[in-house]
Structure 1
């Protein structure tokens, strides 16, 4: 065995050892947090607090009940687009110099005097899916306010704060908040959905525009420096990933069939319809993930521009 190979094996063992230690520490910290939360909940003052603030703020009169079909479609499309936004964004950061480049055809209605800018195929994919995600998001905003569904994810009273503390304590102590998402989200859900929809998503779009190769304004570049913008953009991506992991975990931990029916079948029962729709959408995403290779990307990208290989 050469010294180089021995060193690689040693570094591999070290990485696995560190991962194992991190997992053990995470489990230990989680167990300690659960025990501490259970102890805190047993205090009489805390029990009175949980009675006064059960974990959900009452909705205004006339608030819609349940979920419309358009919301289920929006949810599914957002999941699909976000998957490929994160994938292509990560590839842009880690894949090195691209092997294929896309450039716009300087013809027709978009003819300009300047030569068309060229970008790597992963950047093209990232921007293309971004456009679809933004269009879907704009439609979501319109329907959200047109149908009154906004009152379910926008805090309308200050008691959202103590109720969110109550909901957090209930979650950590593994005594889930006794709310029905079909009728009303608990306060922590409301705040998290509000943050994702009205803070994280617009921030991702704004920073993404600055990082886009289509950004050409030198004057605005001085006002919006590149490095901190990139840090914020990556931070938003991490926030999205954390939200997805926590969201999916709680969906399955707090009544999988009922929650999947809410989100995918727009039904308020414990049937299997939502599960099978979710399973079909998951299968479609897996197929799309493996199908989105260089050959397919070249074929799709060539529909709107010129693709060359280096």
Structure 2
């Protein structure tokens, strides 16, 4: 039987209760432990007769001696003290009120869209080899451009090319006479087209990159037509762009100004080649947009208005929710994969056209060209420039306002707006 002397012999021991109780003979003057029901049927009451509570002080690293004595007396068990040789002295002397270190192993309950983005300093930056490769690529493009300019200038210096430029100066007289200048409706249509196409490109790129939309729009009476608010904004802009384009084309043919952008002679192709060579050589063709576009401009405007724009509408309509779901034969004849394969390259064409268009406007008589497009006058004044600046301010406001906080109230006028 263990005695309190064993506990005093090991002061740095850990106290544990013994699983099986032992019988203790009560000392003189002490009363025996109260006995209860037997553990087995027909046996004698437990604990056995003559069992006495354990006495003495027991020291423990995790509990006071008095609490251990109380527990031992309640169950009628003795306390055995065993030495813990493997425990270091620093662990035994640690503050027991300090919680042990632990790692959270459960899900934190936050959706992926709430995960904080990586700090800017943690983002991957291009390595030195990548930066050098980029500089070398830019230098190579510059050398190619310089070589192309030198080659074309040399080519145009030959007599046969001088004869070609004389026969095809870059433009031809249209077969149908048209009044020169630009009517105010042309200026307004040009502004709305610029305003809408920029926002369409912005929202279209947002639709492509948006993986988990947070705001949705649902049309009234069609709960299955739920789309993201960004896609609704993109399609709403498309409808306005189509309306503006239809009005422009109708007025173009009503007023006879279609002749300015629709080729009426096969001479357009050699003249377009002549104009292209003159642009590359930086000996540019004569600018006469108030009366007649050169052939390269005419082909570019014709391709944009009558080819690229209808293709953008047709591919966008095929991918939209407006496409009839039950038209199986029509869907089979015009697969949605074709529309997806064409829609993005068409957008790239519009971006390239805008860049080239703005560059040539700035480099071929900036103030005069702005007066043509924004003030309906053929003069070198600042009127068109300030109207152009005002249009940029309007576009910038619309650019920054194109977010759910502003779009949601507008979208609610045409359907239901809901969050995730």
* TM-score (norm: length of structure 2): 0.68
Once the two structures are TM-superposed, the CA of residue 116 in structure 1 deviates from its matched residue by: 4.7
In 1, Cα distance between equivalents of 2:180 and 2:417? 49
Match of 1:184 in 2: 292
In 2, Cα distance between equivalents of 1:136 and 1:157? 28
4+ residue segments displaced more than 6 Å? none
Match of 1:222 in 2: 332
C-alpha contact 2:176 2:259 (8 A) present in aligned 1 = no
C-alpha contact 2:287 2:364 (8 A) present in aligned 1 = no
Q: Secondary structure at the match of 1:266?
A: coil
In 2, Cα distance between equivalents of 1:36 and 1:254? 23
Match of 2:152 in 1: 37
* Structure showing greater Rg: 2
Q: Which segment drifts farther, 159-168 or 55-64?
A: 55-64
Match of 1:269 in 2: 379
Once the two structures are TM-superposed, the CA of residue 54 in structure 1 deviates from its matched residue by: 0.4
Residue 152 in structure 1 maps to residue 260 in structure 2: yes
In 1, Cα distance between equivalents of 2:382 and 2:139? 35
Once the two structures are TM-superposed, the CA of residue 214 in structure 1 deviates from its matched residue by: 2.6
2:413 to 293, 303, 309: 303
Q: Secondary structure at the match of 2:321?
A: coil
- For the structure 1 residues 6 and 148, does the alpha-carbon distance in structure 2 shift closer, same or farther, using more than 3 Å as the test? closer
In 1, Cα distance between equivalents of 2:372 and 2:399? 26
Once the two structures are TM-superposed, the CA of residue 33 in structure 1 deviates from its matched residue by: 1.2
Match of 1:126 in 2: 234
1:221-246 deviation digits (Å, cap 9, x = unpaired): 21112222111111110000000000
Q: Which segment drifts farther, 155-164 or 92-101?
A: 92-101
In 1, Cα distance between equivalents of 2:183 and 2:226? 42
Match of 1:57 in 2: 172
In 2, Cα distance between equivalents of 1:180 and 1:209? 38
Q: Which fold has the larger relative contact order, with Cα–Cα distance below 8 Å and residues 6 or more apart in sequence?
A: 1
C-alpha contact 1:56 1:179 (8 A) present in aligned 2 = no
Q: Secondary structure at the match of 1:101?
A: strand
Match of 1:22 in 2: 137
2:161 to 46, 64, 70: 46
Cα-Cα RMSD:
1.8
Match of 2:272 in 1: 164
1:194-236 deviation digits (Å, cap 9, x = unpaired): 0000000001001111011232233322111222211111111
- For the structure 1 residues 223 and 156, does the alpha-carbon distance in structure 2 shift closer, same or farther, using more than 3 Å as the test? same
Residue 236 in structure 1 maps to residue 351 in structure 2: no
Flag structure 1 segments of 5+ consecutive residues without an equivalent.
Answer: 107-113
Residue 246 in structure 1 maps to residue 361 in structure 2: no
In 1, Cα distance between equivalents of 2:167 and 2:290? 22
In 2, Cα distance between equivalents of 1:266 and 1:153? 18
Q: Which segment drifts farther, 240-249 or 219-228?
A: 219-228
Greater helix content: 1
Match of 1:260 in 2: 370
- For the structure 1 residues 10 and 296, does the alpha-carbon distance in structure 2 shift closer, same or farther, using more than 3 Å as the test? closer
In 2, Cα distance between equivalents of 1:18 and 1:70? 49
C-alpha contact 1:105 1:116 (8 A) present in aligned 2 = no
Q: How many residues align?
A: 299
C-alpha contact 1:102 1:119 (8 A) present in aligned 2 = yes
- For the structure 1 residues 84 and 16, does the alpha-carbon distance in structure 2 shift closer, same or farther, using more than 3 Å as the test? farther
In 1, Cα distance between equivalents of 2:303 and 2:154? 30
Q: Secondary structure at the match of 2:416?
A: strand
2:192 to 77, 93, 101: 77
Match of 1:111 in 2: none
Match of 2:394 in 1: 284
1:80-107 deviation digits (Å, cap 9, x = unpaired): 110111111111101212111101122x
In 1, Cα distance between equivalents of 2:305 and 2:131? 37
C-alpha contact 1:103 1:306 (8 A) present in aligned 2 = yes
Flag structure 2 segments of 5+ consecutive residues without an equivalent.
Answer: 1-119
- For the structure 1 residues 134 and 225, does the alpha-carbon distance in structure 2 shift closer, same or farther, using more than 3 Å as the test? same
* TM-score (norm: length of structure 1): 0.92
